[in-house]
Amino acid sequence: MKSIYVGNIPFSVTENDVRDLFGQYGSVSAVKLIQDHETGRFRGFGFVEMEDADAASAIEALDGYELSGRPLKVNEAKPRAPRPRY
């Protein structure tokens, strides 16, 4: 499985919308749209998990794809850098 970062997602889009869009390129195992911990509002980005070959096709096809007037930023997700504890 490969994790795909999806940025610049319109605020009106749902997880099902993202699943349907990426599902055109293969089987989607998970979609997670990120919300602000304090306000609960969608932050405009998320992650999609797909099989490696399907993920490569989706990344190539959907990077720059215009969804509700906004060009998506789609690439392979990078591991999260450790954050310092306070």
Three-state secondary structure along the chain?
CEEEEEECCCCCCCHHHHHHHHHCCCCEEEEEEEECCCCCCEEEEEEEEECHHHHHHHHHHHCCCEECCEECEEEECCCCCCCCCC
CATH number for the domain whose boundaries are 2-76: 3.30.70.330
Does pLDDT of 59 surpass 90? yes
Quote the pTM value: 0.90
Q: What is the pLDDT of residue 84?
A: 82
Tens digit of each residue's pLDDT (9 = 90 or more) over 3-25: 999 999 999 999 999 999 999 99
Are the beta carbons of 4 and 78 closer than 8 angstroms?
A: no
Does pLDDT of 63 surpass 80? yes
Average pLDDT over residues 20-32: 98
List the chain domain ranges.
Answer: 2-76
